[in-house]
Amino acid sequence: MNETALIYDVAIVGGGNAAFCAALAAREQGLRVVVLERAPPDESGGNSRFTAGAFRFAYRGVEDLVAVMPDLSENEIASTDFGTYSEDQFFDDMFRATNYRTDPELVELLVRRSFDTMLWLRDVGIRFVPIYGRQAFKIDGKFKFWGGLTVESSGGGPGLIEAQTRFAQSRGIEIRYENAARSLIYDGERVLGVRVKSSRGVGDVLARAVVLACGGFEANAEMRTRYLGPGWELAKVRGTRFNTGDGIQMALDIGASSAGNWSGCHAVAWDRNAPEFGDLSVGDGFQRHSYPFGIMVNRLGLRFLDEGADFRNYTYAKYGRAILEQPEQFAWQIFDKKVLHLLRDEYRLAHVTRVSAQSIEELAAKLDGVEPTAFIDTVTTYNAGVDRDIKFNPNLKDCKKTNGLLIPKSNWANTLDEPPFEAYQVTCGITFTFGGLRINSGCQVMGGDLLPIPGLFAAGEIVGGLFYFNYPGGTGLMSGAVFGRIAGMSAVAAAVRLSDGEKVKKS
C-alpha cells in the first residue's frame, strides 16, 4: 500500500459528529478532504451513532427554535412551553457540573457559538425536532420542557450520522472505512499526515493538516483501569468498541500536551445484562434514566445516593460511577404504579432486565442478589420519611423531599406503596472519558511547551479540559459540532498557508 504521492489538504481521523463537522467545514472552502474511519460502514459513526441525538444550546425563545427547526408546526408551538435557555444559564450549568474547573476559553467558545453552530448544521442539511417524551411532560394539557434541553437530531444519533455521511459524500468528501490511524507523520516541526492500516496493509496518507476527532479511551479496559482506577475494567461500554485512545496516544507520542480530568468520565446507569460494547440494534436503549421518580438500592438493600438531587440531565453522567462503586457493581431501580407512565421508552423494550410484583415483600424476593429483609426495611423507612404535603411535579424541581433520612431525596419523593411495583437492574455504562489533548481556541493541539504543534488539530471527545466530574446532558454533540467546525476551518487556514508556501518554493 503506497499512497505517498497523494496529498490531501485536510485528513480527518474519526467518523463521528465532530469528525464530520470538521470535514464539512473544511470542504466548504473547496479543499480536498479525506475522512479516515477505523470502523467498517455498518459500525461507523463513533459514539455519536449510539446517542439519542440531543444538542444543548443557548436560545432566547421559540423564535430561535423555529430558526433551528423551520418545520416546527403551529400546533406544536401552541401546545408547548419551550421556555428559554440563555447563554448565562448554559455557563451556569457548565460551571456547576464541573465544579468550576471547565477551561474558561473552551467553555466560552462552546456557549457563545452554540446557537450559530446549530444554524450552520441546519444549513448543511441536518434536521432537528423537539425532544418530546424525554424532556417534556404534559401537564394540564401543555408540554413543558425542563433542564435546558429541547432539541435532538431527527432519527437520533443514527439519523445524525446517516445525514452527515450522505452530505459529506455529496460534497465530494472521501470517506475511507476500515482505515485505522496508527501514528502521525511528523518531521519534528509539523504534522505531515497519518500512517494508517487497512486491509491492503500499512501506508501513509499525506495531508497539509490533520484533525484528530477519534474519541477517548473508554473502550480500552487497560487505559480505563490505569487512569480511572481499579474496577473500571468491569464497566460496560455504552458506545463504539473502536474508541481505544489511539488518537490521544499518537499525539502524545509526538509531544502533545495532555489536559483535563483523566480520572473522570461520563458514565450512566446501564442495563446489567447489556453486552460488553454498544449494540447498534439497541442503540441507547440499555440506559435507565428515570431514577429520579423512584429509588435505587444496592446488593445490601440500601439506598446510596440522592435520586432527586437535580434533573436527570445534571446527574445521570456521574451516577454510573456511583453504581460501579457498589458491592458487585450493580443496583436496582424501584418504581410503583404512580410513576410507571413517566418511565422513558427504554424501560419498555424487550431486552430490559426487569421484575414486577404486587407487594414490596414479593418484589424483595425477586431482586436478584439483594438482601431482602434490608430492602424491605429501606422501603419502609423511605416511605415514612416522604413529605406528603407537597404536590409531585415532574416538570420542575418540586422540593417534594424526604425528612430524617441518612441519604435524602431532594425532589420527586413519592411513597412506594401502590402496586404494581417494578424494578430494573443496572450497572455502570461508560460513555466517554474526560481526559485528553490540550487545544487552544483554534483547536490546534498544543505541545508540551504549550505552543501549537503545526498541522495538528483536535475536536470532540479527544479534547481534554472541558468536562470535569460531571456533564450537562446534550453537551457532547454540541461541543463536537462547535469544535469540529472550528478545527475544520483552522485546518483549512493551515493547509492554505502551507500550500502557498510550497508554491513560493517551486517558483
Residue 34 located in a structural domain: yes
pLDDT at 450: 97
Question: Residue 197 carries which side chain, given as an amino acid letter?
Answer: K
* 1 within a domain of the structure (yes/no): no
- Closest to 130 in 3D by CA, of 157, 151, 158: 151
Q: Note the pLDDT of residue 485.
A: 98
Nearest Cα residue to 367 out of 357, 377, 382: 357
pLDDT for the residue 125: 94
Write b or e for each residue in 305-336: b if 16 or more Cβ atoms lie within 10 A of its Cβ, otherwise e: bbbbbbbbbbbbbbbbbbbbebeebbbbbbbb
Distance CA 411, CA 400 (A): 5
Q: Are strands 452-458 and 421-433 parallel, antiparallel or unpaired?
A: unpaired
- Distance CA(157)–CA(442), nearest Å, equals 26
What is the per-residue pLDDT for 501?
A: 67
Is there a contact between 167 and 55 (Cβ–Cβ < 8 Å)?
A: no
Residue that terminates a domain, selected from 429, 452, 478? 429
Per-residue pLDDT, 503: 59
pLDDT reported for residue 1: 40
The per-residue pLDDT for 405 is: 98
- 399 within a domain of the structure (yes/no): yes
CA 414 from centroid of its chain's CA atoms: 30
| 253 and 274 together in one domain | no
Residues 301 and 361: beta-carbon distance below 8 Å: no
Q: What whole-number distance in Å separates Cα of residue 82 and Cα of residue 395?
A: 12
Supply 6's cell numbers: 497523494
| Rounded Cα distance, 32 and 136, in Å | 43
Question: Domain check: are 450 and 416 in the same one?
Answer: no
Closest CA to 208 of 427, 443, 397, 490: 490
Final residue of a structural domain among 429, 462, 493: 429
Q: How far from 102 is each of 208, 449, 481, CA to CA, in Å?
A: 31, 21, 18
The one-letter amino acid at 24: L
**Which cell numbers hold the place of 463?**
479534547
Percentage of the chain lying above the pLDDT 70 cut: 97
* 13-67: pLDDT as tens digits: 999 999 999 999 999 999 999 999 999 999 999 999 999 999 999 999 999 999 9
How do the pLDDT tens digits run along the chain, 507 residues long? 444 446 899 999 999 999 999 999 999 999 999 999 999 999 999 999 999 999 999 999 999 999 999 999 999 999 999 999 999 999 999 999 999 999 999 999 999 999 999 999 999 999 999 999 788 888 888 899 988 999 999 999 999 999 999 999 999 999 999 999 999 999 999 999 999 999 999 999 999 999 999 999 999 999 999 999 999 999 999 999 999 999 999 999 999 999 999 999 999 999 999 999 999 999 989 999 999 999 999 999 999 999 999 999 999 999 999 999 999 999 999 999 999 999 999 999 888 999 999 999 999 999 999 999 999 999 999 999 999 999 999 999 999 999 999 999 999 999 999 999 999 999 999 999 999 999 999 999 999 999 999 999 999 999 999 999 999 999 999 999 999 999 999 999 999 988 766 654 554
Is the domain of 151 the same as that of 33? yes
Say if residues 219 and 432 touch (Cβ distance below 8 Å): no
* CB 126, CB 65: distance < 8 Å: no
Q: What amino acid is encoded at 159 in this protein?
A: G
For residue 209, being part of any structural domain is answered with yes
Beta bridge mates, 270: 287, 427
Per DSSP, helices labelled H in 138-198 are 156-170
Whether the link from the prior residue into 420 is cis, omega within 30° of 0, is: yes
Domains in the chain, number = 2
Give the pTM.
0.94
| 28 and 53 inside one domain | yes
CATH at residue 321: 3.90.700.10
Shared-domain flag, residues 153 and 215: yes
Q: Which grid coordinates are listed for 494? A: 493551515
Rg (CA), the chain: 24
Question: What was the pLDDT predicted at 3?
Answer: 45
State residue 499's pLDDT score. Answer: 74
- What is the distance between the alpha carbons of residues 246 and 262, in angstroms, rounded to a whole number? 15
Does 39 reside within a domain?
Answer: yes
Q: Which strand (E) or helix (H) includes residue 221? A: helix 221-223
CA distance 52 to 131: 10
Name the residue range of residue 224's domain: 7-264+434-506
- My answer on whether 184 and 310 are in the same domain is no
Q: Quick one: pLDDT at residue 498? A: 81
The per-residue pLDDT for 507 is 47
Query: What pLDDT score was predicted for residue 146?
Result: 87
H or E element, residue 90? helix 87-97
Query: Count of CB atoms within 10 A of residue 500's CB?
Result: 10
The three-state secondary structure class of 430 is strand
**Could you tell me if 262 and 245 are in contact, meaning their C-beta atoms sit under 8 angstroms apart?**
no
Amino acid at 231: G
109 and 94, same domain (yes or no): yes
Residue with cell 453522567: 317
Scan for cell 418530546, then name that residue: 132
The answer as to whether 247 is a domain residue is yes
